[in-house]
Amino acid sequence: MAYIVVTTRAPFSHERSSGKETVRFSTGGVSTSLRMIVGREGGTWVCWGDGSNDRAYPEEIKDNVRIVRVFIGSRERRGFYEGYSNSTLWPLFHYFRDRLKFSRKNFLTYRKVNQDFLEAIKKVYRPGDTVWIHDYQLALLPGLVRKEFPDAGIIFTWHIPWVTGEFFSMLPESEEILRSICSSSFVTFHTGLYVRNFFDSMDQILGSHDSMKGRAFSIPLGIDYAYYQKKSEGIHKSPFAGDQKAIFSVDRMDYTKGLTERANAIETLLETHPELIGKFVYYMAVSPSRTNVKEYQTFKRDLEMSIGRINGRFSSVSWVPIVYMNKKLSDNLLIAFYRFSQVALITPLFDGLNLVSKEFIASSRDGVLIISKFAGSASQLNGAIKVNPNSRLELAESIHSALNMGAEERRVRLEMMKKEVSRHDSAWWSRRIRDLARKISFPEGGRVVEQH
């Protein structure tokens, strides 16, 4: 069984500036982990060619993978990517009612781009292939592929949260999207809660979820644990300058990540525990993301104002509480940060899973993880301090406890999480999905058959 993996984000793109060609690797968790999995398993990867020099590489073979690029014009990009994907579906599925934009025009462009992806699949599909579609940008694609290839094995993996039926039904196109997803052979989410919410959406919109019973699964994506473990063990020098304790976080620049709330919690911590002034540094790495979306521009400005205000209030000649890095860190530096930080502060307001928390666990020597209870990975990481990111005080107190936690407690908690993250790694994830793909097919007539 060969896969045709389909994502919007490419594993990497080709850039050209001042006559120089470079390769840029994507930052999101989905393409980063799939890059390793598809590289291991082989197959074809259909993705968006959004690099400035990608048109020179419509197809290429790289490390065992055939990459096929779909090109989207700049007007379509606005309706599809900045518009429906990231100004409608993204805020909807993270419960951001106030940021939601409804636009029929954007939806029609979204449908058109999903059709463009179908055209690319049609060129490479061979009977027997399994089409593995990923995430909210391509939610209409399972339905389109099913129509074209009634016998195809189609897997749909949803990487962000799935909201309650009531919230989802606010979307004018909720039924079309739901019906498309339900035409997959099976669907995977990252937590049981998202599966339950998906069923709830079916109950509310389609009247029942019976047709998806036994075809919707919670299979949380894992990381390449061995890679992080080996790489981190090879790093012997701390990247931090002073002898203060290091708190670290790394995220995409996104309003769902709880970045301003975190900065504010640092302020509360310094107000309520002034003895900590000068005793720690919070290293906040934030990689640029969706920079053409207005909401993201405003969010970045507001975050930077908060950081500036807090640093202005507490800094001295020899100390700054928040070191803010608005860039993508190199892999080596990132893993060094993971390895030598005393505390990782991963507190999104909502997050489908959050692979950073797992990368930290795999790389850390003796760190403490503080995780939002609204991150999908929190349900797997029982050794972490779980927090409600909406409470400044709770967040501040959790940082205080983490900084003061004894060595033995740190060790026990970390060991427990290392076991969990290494057991359920990316190889486990892809194996589970491959096993299901072998068992569940969707033959002619659209009847689901479990093959034993």
Chain positions contacting ligand F6P, by CB under 6 A: 9, 28-31, 135, 159-160, 289-290, 352
Nearest distance in Å: CB 134, ligand F6P = 7
Nearer to ligand F6P, 135 or 267 (CB): 135
Residue closer to ligand F6P by CB (options 85, 232) is: 85
What is the rounded CA–CA span in Å between residue 317 and residue 288? 29
Candidates 74, 79, 75, 71; CA nearest to 53 is: 71
Report the C-alpha gap between 64 and 66 in whole angstroms.
7
Q: Minimum Å distance from CB 34 to ligand F6P?
A: 10
* 240 vs 350, beta carbon nearer ligand F6P: 350
Name the packing angle between helices 29-41 and 426-439 (round to 10°).
70
Least spacing, CB of residue 86 vs ligand F6P, in Å: 6
> Smallest Cα–Cα separation from 383: which of 400, 396, 366?
366
- Which C-beta is closer to ligand F6P: that of 221 or that of 269? 221
Q: Least CB distance from residue 272 to ligand F6P, whole Å?
A: 34
When the beta carbons of 29 and 321 are compared against ligand F6P, the nearer one is 29
Write the secondary structure of 37-59 as one string of H (helix), E (strand) and C (coil): HHHHHCEEEEEECCCCCHHHCCE
Residue nearest ligand F6P, CB atom distance:
28
Q: Shortest gap between Cβ of 342 and ligand F6P (angstroms)?
A: 27
**449, β-bridge pairs:** 441
Question: Coil, strand or helix: which one is 437?
Answer: helix
Residues 6+ apart with CB under 8 A from 317: none
Q: How many residues does the chain have?
A: 452
- Please identify, using beta-carbon distances, which residue of 34 and 235 lies nearer to ligand F6P: 34
Least spacing, CB of residue 27 vs ligand F6P, in Å: 7
Closer by beta carbon to ligand F6P, 186 or else 350: 350
Least CB distance from residue 28 to ligand F6P, whole Å? 3
Tell the smallest beta-carbon distance from residue 123 to ligand F6P (Å): 23
Handedness of CA 48, 90, 377, 169 (dihedral sign): negative
**CB 33 → ligand F6P: shortest distance, Å?**
10
Residue ranges of E strands in 71-142: 130-134
Q: How far is the CB of 4 from ligand F6P (least distance, A)?
A: 18
Q: Which is nearer to ligand F6P, 30 or 395 (CB)?
A: 30
- SS3 per residue for 340-370: HCCEEEECCCCECCCHHHHHHHHHCCCCEEE
C-beta atoms surrounding 42 within 10 Å:
12
Name the residue nearer to ligand F6P (CB basis): 54 or 135: 135
Task: Name the CA dihedral angle for 101, 102, 108, 114, rounded to a multiple of 10 degrees.
Answer: 50
| Separation in Å, CA 135 to CA 9, 93, 141, 150 | 10, 11, 10, 21
* Positive or negative torsion for Cα 383, 388, 393, 395: positive
Give the side-chain half-sphere CA count within 13 A for 3: 27
d(CA 262, CA 258): 6
Q: What is the largest CA-CA distance in the chain?
A: 73
- Residue number with CB closer to ligand F6P (77 or 392): 77
Residue number, 68 or 343, with CB nearest to ligand F6P: 68
**Least CB distance from residue 436 to ligand F6P, whole Å?**
21
Task: Round to whole Å and give the CA distance between 233 and 180.
Answer: 45
